[in-house]
A and B are shown apart, each in its own frame.
Chain A
Amino acid sequence: MGPSVAAVLGLVAMALISILAGLFARRYSRTTSDFMVAARAVPPRVNAAAVSGEYLSAASFLGVAGLVMQFGYDVLWYPVGYAAGYLLLLLFVAGPLRRFGAYTIPDFAEGRFDSPRFRRLAVILVLVIGFFYALPQMKAAGLTVETASGLPYWVGVAVVAVVVVTAVTGGGMRGITLVQSLQFAAKIFAISLPAFLLLLHFGGPGTPFATARGQLVRLPARTTYRVTGGELWQLPRATSLDVEGEALVLWSREDPVRAPGAVTAEVGDTPAPASPVRGSKHLLLFGNQRIPAGTLVWGGKATVLVPKGQPAPFGSTTPAANTASWSAPFGPLAGGSGHPLLFTYSLILAIVLGTIGLPHILVRFYTNPDARAARRTALMVLVLLGAFYIWPPVFGALGRALDPSLYGNNLTDAVVLVLPSLLGGWLGQLLLAVVAAGAFAAFTSTLSGLLVSLAGALGHDVYGRWLRPAASAHRRRIAFQVAAVGAGALAAALGLMVGQFDISVLVGWAFAIAASSFFPLLVLGIWWPRLTTRAAALGVALGGGTATLAIVTTMVATLSPQVEDFLARASGLAVILAQPAIVTVPLAFAAMVLGSLLRPGPPPGVAAKLVQLHAPELLGLRSDYIPD
């Protein structure tokens, strides 16, 4: 699809609305008469909308739909887990943490264990998780701007980084409850309305969903693909193609043709080079030709027309098994790993437990006046997220039925942005603008929350506490702004390198690290008096460290064929490295529990801390009453 004026307008409109709402909230002053009404704390429903607004990132808005389209059934664990995490937050963390009064997770680590050194460890993990979470937001930003305006991917990343960094350093978009709740409204509106109208237009859910469930997806219309050299296609069945001019391809029936670059010759080179992979052969395509099922790699730039009704070609990132088991459990996502059960459970653990450890989410609960309000907020977040997460999978299924050409271009992550234009005319353009605005809200709200967390950790903790504890307020402020610029630039630079990973997979990794470090810390720290400082620090470092290491290994593996080959042979290890939570979460818990039991000695004053965490405010208990 080409660039769209409407989509760009949608982006700009959302940016303006956010900034104006921020300015309004900051500048608005009250006179005495209406002060008392306004002085009441933020009600839980508004706060819940703000939490949801900050939480629903591009991974939820774009990524889940893209993954559902690509992999099908198994992906449903992502939205289920994203929402279900708040159940654990509600049950175990929200109330006690609010009573404790901690603002950030490092605050809790320091306060609960009376250890400024533990705080440093927590700050380092905040930085790791924050950066891992910022990468997919950057990818989503690049993708959205690319799809909407036709500008290159890197321009999108750069533009969004500049906008968000400016807003954060200028204070325009910083954690303002009003703005965040507004952005939640924008997101749920932008995803539900187009999905609803699409369903209406294409005859209710029955027909498209039946098509999506089918073994083979066929192109609903004649489709033009522009391919570049090295691009890989998987043809599930024999397919007719119409090539403009001529094009050289490397085709193979059995072996997947790996490694882009396997075809080095351009059309016109004679003779065709020897085929590097067994059972493959070079073909010179021209005019209308029928290619047997298999994998092919394009030798150079070409324009290819695929007639209506032909099986849709799949790109390199969609597994071949997609055609058979899209609507069944243990399909291509989990099944592709060779250990579907292990993979699925590890994924669920990471996502459900990771929510609690996200640094930019817990700070929002500080706005609640008391523990009761915090619990109500968590409950309402659960409801709001449930209402939101119905829609991305709907988009995924509609995408498979209505526009399977996205598979061939590896553009499934853009499905939410592409589908509305199928409605055609002004309605399609209007919906496109709405969806683009929603996507903008998604990545800017999460990104600005993350940037504030990252810049806070760097500017206030690393600079203001370790390097220059005596720094003045003014210098700390400057440090915060420099840190925001630096963190934004770094995240953007890293975001340029993660183009080949799916948005939701990247987010899943941030969750896995959070689940393996902060989740055990918060749950045991709140509920287990005998936890010792040393064991808690050991568990956090061990869980967070191993999870990060495993994920970095997986990322590096995609760059290095040797590592990839090795992991392909040891598939169990590959699953654990790609989804480490099932090993690292129990590891962190075990380290904390065993460490505390083997060398007992909880920090002094633990009884008073637990009273502060758990005694309801209405009892009026004070820690002074508790002898240590």
Chain B
Amino acid sequence: MIRAMPWPALVGVEAVFTALAAFLVHRRLRRRPFAFNTAEERATLRTLAFATSAVASLRQGLDRKTAVKVLRSLVPQSGGMAAAIYDARQLLAYQPAAGSRAEAHARHLEMDSAACLSALGSGRTQMVRLHPQEPTDCPLRVAVVAPITLDDHPVAALVTYHGGEPSPAQLRVTADLGELLATQLRLQRADQQQAALVRSELRALRAQISPHFIYNLLTTIASFVRSDPERSRELLVEFADFSRRAFAGPSSEFTTLADELVYVNQYLNLEQARFGERLQVRYHIEPEVLSTVVPALLIQPLVENAVKHGIEQRRGRGTVAVEATDQDDECWICVRDDGEGFPGGMELADQQGALGNIHRRLTHVFGPGHGLEVVSRPGEGTTVTVRVPKYRPGVKAS
């Protein structure tokens, strides 16, 4: 087949493929809406594009930089000759529409900022007359001030400028655009609150070392003081080390698996002193994943849970196994016990306490597919599995 083809044909075929590929790439990159042709469809798309770009900028918060970005895409939508954004104290950005000669107004912005700020304070959409005294070279006559409110407090204002008396529709457009910006700012605040919540849950984790554990451990150490002073000394040092980290809480949100395992190992050493032969510990750690970045205080609470259910609540021996395996682009961490187990599933999302906390942190950081997986059968013990991606943008140990 190929043998029979003359070379110009081959070059031609290759050229066609290259051109096709280039065209597809170009189309992907430009994201031009080829398929939409009527003026209405284009207008709809322009508006939607504006809404998404405003989302992208404002989710980082409102400052001079994002205000400029928002205004650039907003001015053509506003129907005015120019637009500006104020925060509660000052002008953040002013953007004239292309070809509107509204640049001239930049010189007069000082004059009307007081009027705009007072309109902002009122919390209602208002009209402000610009330089009423003398007819100037500036084509702008009226500003419409739409306050942006968060929790009923005006925190910023969107101002559109018009050459004459604005129509009721134009007033309405400005007010709605202001409301759109307010929605984005609320979302941004929700993001912040979510992150703050996760941080505070992280801080709260340090308090979850149970008094029961400390009491039992100290009793155990006391029993060694006469019979095996060296061992009691070792245990005390280990406990001091462990408690420093436990009470101070983690220094950052993420750490490496190796660090986390050191902490887990300390904890299990102490538990083994407490339970003696009753607690067997097995590790299976593949060295390839030791440098994986994991949420801090991820494993120790799981291990504590396994000790509680696998050993404490029953007679005789029990084994707790900690496994970390290399699964291509993920590291899988398993904590198993061979205790009583329990029937049925477990709803982790709303659970209080350590497991629920870990589950929420994991899904917040890595997405809904990466929460805790708990598998348990009566009489066969419980296995808790975490799948941590080896790399996720923004997740780094510090």
Contact = CB atoms under 8 A, between A and B. Distances in A.
B177 interface: no
B249 to A, nearest CB: 17
Contact of B261 (A39, A111, A456, A623): A39
Contacts of B5: 560, 562
B266 to A, nearest CB: 10
A556 B268 CA distance: 63
B283 A103 contact: no
A317 interface: no
Contacts of B280: 31
Contacts of A42: 287-288, 290
Interface string B377-398: 0000000000100110111111
Contacts of B29: 534, 537
A615 B280 CA distance: 42
Interface in B277-315: 280-288, 290-291, 293
Interface stretch (B6-14, B83-91, B97-105, B229-237): B6-14
Nearest to A99: B396
A545 interface: yes
B393 A110 contact: yes
B262 interface: yes
Contact of A32 (B2, B10, B258, B265): B265
Contacts of A559: 2-3
Given A41-B290, A560-B5, A102 B391 contact: yes
B369 A456 contact: no
Nearest to B262: A39
A470 interface: yes
Contacts of B6: 562
A107 interface: yes
The B interface is mostly helix, strand or loop, or mixed, namely mixed
Given A41-B290, A107-B391, A556 B282 contact: no
A306 to B, nearest CB: 33
Interface in B2-48: 2-3, 5-7, 10, 14, 18, 21, 25, 28-29
Interface stretch (A361-369, A414-422, A437-445, A523-531): A361-369
A553 B396 CA distance: 44
B282 A367 contact: no
Interface string B107-122: 0000000000000000
B391 A561 contact: no
Nearest to B4: A560
Contacts of B282: 29-31
A29 B283 CA distance: 6
Contact of B288 (A177, A560, A620): A177
A103 B290 contact: no
Contacts of B394: 111
Given A39-B262, A39-B290, A534-B29, A31 B391 contact: no
Contacts of B21: 545
A622 B252 CA distance: 10
A90 to B, nearest CB: 19
B272 interface: yes
Contacts of B25: 541
Contacts of A41: 258, 287, 290-291
A103 B283 CA distance: 25
Contacts of B3: 559-561
A103 B329 contact: yes
A556 B1 CA distance: 11
Given A39-B262, A39-B265, A562-B7, A101 B283 contact: no
A367 B256 CA distance: 12
B14 A553 contact: yes
Given A42-B288, A480-B328, A549-B18, A31 B281 contact: yes
B23 to A, nearest CB: 13
Contacts of B265: 32, 35-36, 39
A566 interface: yes
B179 interface: no
Given A39-B285, A562-B7, A566-B7, A473 B369 contact: yes
Contacts of B286: 25-26, 176
Nearest to B25: A541
A563 interface: yes
A612 interface: yes
A32 B281 contact: yes
A177 B164 CA distance: 75
Nearest to B287: A42
A176 B326 CA distance: 9
A189 B115 CA distance: 85
A36 B390 CA distance: 23
A456 B291 contact: no
A39 B258 contact: yes
A38 interface: yes
A101 B391 CA distance: 7
A125 interface: no
B243 interface: no
A460 interface: yes
Contacts of A553: 14
B269 interface: yes
A359 to B, nearest CB: 12
A388 to B, nearest CB: 23
A114 interface: yes
A452 interface: yes
Contact of B291 (A366, A561, A620): A366
Interface in A548-596: 549, 552-553, 556, 559-563, 565-566
B262 A32 contact: no
B283 A30 contact: yes
A473 B334 CA distance: 14
A162 B293 CA distance: 35
B17 to A, nearest CB: 9
B269 A32 contact: yes
Given A32-B265, A35-B283, A41-B258, A556 B10 contact: yes
Contacts of A102: 391
Contacts of B398: 620, 622-624
Contacts of A32: 265, 268-269, 272, 281, 283
Nearest to B321: A29
B390 A549 contact: no
Contact of B390 (A38, A103, A452, A561): A103
Nearest to A98: B291
Contacts of A543: none
A175 interface: yes
Interface string B313-343: 0000000010001101100000000000000
Given A28-B284, A39-B265, A42-B288, A369 B258 contact: yes
A365 B396 CA distance: 17
Contacts of A234: none
Interface string A3-43: 00000000000000000000001101111100110110110
A29 B280 CA distance: 13
A368 B2 contact: no
A114 B393 contact: yes
A38 B10 CA distance: 59
A108 to B, nearest CB: 8
9 nearest A-B residue pairs (beta carbon): A563-B7, A562-B7, A103-B390, A29-B284, A107-B391, A111-B393, A103-B391, A622-B398, A42-B287
Interface of B: 2-3, 5-7, 10, 14, 18, 21, 25, 28-29, 252, 256, 258, 261-262, 265, 268-269, 272, 280-288, 290-291, 293, 321, 325-326, 328-329, 369, 387, 390-391, 393-398
20 contacts: A26-B325, A38-B283, A38-B285, A41-B291, A101-B396, A104-B391, A107-B390, A110-B393, A111-B391, A111-B394, A176-B288, A366-B288, A367-B287, A460-B329, A470-B369, A552-B14, A560-B7, A565-B7, A612-B396, A623-B396
Interface of A: 25-26, 28-32, 35-36, 38-39, 41-42, 101-104, 107, 110-111, 114, 117, 174-177, 366-370, 452, 455-456, 460, 470, 472-473, 480, 534, 537, 541, 545, 549, 552-553, 556, 559-563, 565-566, 612, 620, 622-624
